[in-house]
Amino acid sequence: MDRIRIVGGAKLHGTIPVSGAKNAALPLMIASLLTPETLTLENVPRLSDVRMLKRILGNHGVDITVAGKRLGDREDDGETVKLTAGSIVDTVAPYELVSQMRASFWVVAPLLARMGEAKVSLPGGCAIGTRPVDLLLMALEKLGAEIEIEGGYVLARAPKGLKGGEIDFAKVTVGGTHTALMAAVLAHGTSIIRNAAREPEVGDLARCLVKMGAKISGIDTSVLEVTGVGSLKGAHHRVLPDRIEAGTYAFATAMAGGDVTLTDVQPHLLQSALDRLSDAGATVTTTENSIRVSRNGNGLAAVNIETEAFPGFPTDLQAQFMALMTKAQGTSRITETIFENRFMHVSELARFGAKIRLDGDTAIVEGMPVLKGAPVMATDLRASVSLVIAALAAEGETMINRVYHLDRGFEQLESKLQRCGAEVERIRG
């Protein structure tokens, strides 16, 4: 298993191009199941989750080609992926595949909408709480699906097709909103989705569906109205930049010190995170498509955060912000309101000498002047990158084990940091 070795202390200077968003690429790829025509996606990040989803979609009969690099393309330019679901050869998504990545459960909606049936294993994914799918199934039932659960599989049927309905989410759910959208676009009649997630990745999916011929209004708001159409066509779409990757490198720069410009990014998609970073004392300036973060000399101030659905502080940046606060001056309170049990990084951060106490859904972080490098273990996707952030500012060497979690969500992490002067290397094995 690969490991990552980091020697802390180097300041970061340079430019980091931000990749396409994993959390947008996955539902966009799944949307290819809705049409027999070709969906071309640009700026798809090269990540293990994307590779896994290609296998899952291939199993359903989606023909996938990846366009080669053109002369002059940068090393870190994303892939162009063409997906053609000419005919769906299998409406079963098996346990072996779905258990490795939760988002693959979302295939249930397009399979059901297009084929009238789907059999999809209950999901796995990051161990950050129980993460049920009750709201996703409720949404499908509201559109007329019959749902049964048998032997760890969800059997969804709508032999006469789905019909428009009203879906009122009791809780904001990104996966639930993706599911409702992908089901409603091919349903007979009009659907209303209330308390829809406003995360930018939901908007990105909706915009791509509109290019494919779907009728959706209220995009980026919490009420979506979808009028079903008989069929969808192919389209061309560029995946939105990864706001979580951008926020991660912004925090890393504040932690290590230095001056880094993030490019190919949409700063307004992570405004709440950038605001908290400024509160902590980093200098943050933005243009329409770049973010510059610097911290020279001064220490960081302790700042409290509470995770919230968009546009609030994202849960996917909570672990990284906690890493930053381990060296701040004073005590910060970090409250997680989206997922239970999303504090697995606390015990690993303690290995650097961080002082963190848990009180229910809140972590109380007492900033320390010095962190010390240590052997640590990646436990889930975002938790693992919080260890990278701590290691960049820790004295001495850190060895991060189980980095396959990082490879699920961060494209070329080592080279992006190396080019800014960090001492980071991957040890294959």
Site residues for ligand UD1, 68-107, by CB under 6 A, read 102-103
Q: Which stretch binds ligand UD1 (CB under 6 A): 127-135, 343-351, 372-380, 418-426?
A: 127-135
Candidate ranges 50-58, 110-118, 172-180, 363-371; the one touching ligand UD1 (CB under 6 A): 172-180
Tell me which residues in 15-54 interact with ligand UD1 (CB under 6 A): 23, 26
Closest to ligand UD1 by CB, 6 vs 202, is 202
Q: Please enumerate in sequence order all residues whose Cβ is within 8 A of that of 280, keeping only pairs 6 or more positions apart, or say none.
A: 254, 300, 301, 302, 303, 324, 325, 328
Helix locations, 335-420, DSSP H: 345-350, 381-392, 404-409, 413-418
How is residue 426 written in tokens? 């991957």
Other C-beta atoms closer than 10 Å to the C-beta of 8 total 21
Minimum distance, C-beta of residue 87 to ligand UD1, in the bound complex (Å): 27
Two structure tokens written together for 189: 């009649």
Closer residue to ligand UD1, CB minimum distance, 29 or 374: 29
Give the C-alpha separation, 221 to 196, whole Å.
7
At 428, give phi and psi (nearest 5°).
-75, 145
Among 67-75, 128-136, 268-276, 394-402, the segment contacting ligand UD1 (CB under 6 A) = 128-136
CB of 60 to ligand UD1, least distance (A): 18
Q: Are 253 and 7 in contact (CB under 8 A)?
A: no
Give the CA distances from residue 54 to residues 96, 237, 266, in Å, rounded to whole numbers and listed in that order: 14, 17, 27
Whole-number minimum distance, CB 176 to ligand UD1, in Å? Answer: 5
- In sequence order, the 6+-apart residues with CB closer than 8 A to the CB of 399 are 3, 4, 5, 375, 376, 427
CB of 312 to ligand UD1, least distance (A): 10
Residue with tokens 């994993």: 22
Q: Which residues pair with 188 in a beta bridge?
A: 163
d(CA 136, CA 330): 42
* Contact window for ligand UD1 (CB under 6 A) among 124-132, 233-241, 245-253, 261-269: 124-132
Whether the Cβ atoms of residue 103 and residue 26 lie closer than 8 Å to each other = yes
Q: In the window 129-148, what residues touch ligand UD1 (CB under 6 A)?
A: 129, 131-136
Name residues contacting ligand UD1, limited to 321-360 (CB under 6 A): 338-339
Binder among 51, 89, 149, 171 for ligand UD1 (CB under 6 A): 171
- Rounded to a whole number of angstroms, the minimum distance from the CB of residue 170 to ligand UD1 is 8
State the catalytic residue, choosing from 21, 97, 107, 126: 126
- Sheet arrangement for strand 12-17: 12-17, 258-263, 290-295, 283-286
> Could you tell me the smallest distance in angstroms from the CB atom of residue 23 to ligand UD1?
3
**CA-CA distance, 214 to 258, in Å (whole number)?**
46
Identify residues 288-327 at the interface with ligand UD1 (CB under 6 A).
315-316
Find out whether 245 and 47 touch, Cβ atoms under 8 Å: no
Do residues 67 and 82 touch, judged by C-beta distance below 8 A? yes
Q: What is the dihedral of CA 35, 37, 41, 44, to 10 degrees?
A: 70
Nearest distance, CB of residue 199 and ligand UD1, angstroms = 6
Residue of minimal Cβ distance to ligand UD1: 175
254 makes contact with ligand UD1 (CB under 6 A): no
Residues 22 and 103: their CA atoms lie apart, in Å, by 11
Count of residues touching ligand UD1 (by CB under 6 A): 23
| Cβ proximity to ligand UD1, 201 vs 264, nearer residue | 201
Segment interacting with ligand UD1, rule: CB under 6 A, options 36-44, 174-182, 212-220, 282-290: 174-182
Q: Is 126 assigned a catalytic role?
A: yes
Stretch that binds ligand UD1, among 168-176, 271-279, 320-328, 385-393 (CB under 6 A): 168-176
Give me the least distance between CB of 126 and ligand UD1, in Å please.
8
* CA distance linking residue 92 with residue 143, whole number of Å: 20
**Amino acid at site 393:** A
Q: Which is nearer to ligand UD1, 245 or 264 (CB)?
A: 245
Catalytic residues: 126
* Residues in contact with ligand UD1 by the rule CB under 6 A: 23, 26, 102-103, 129, 131-136, 171, 173-176, 197, 199, 201, 315-316, 338-339
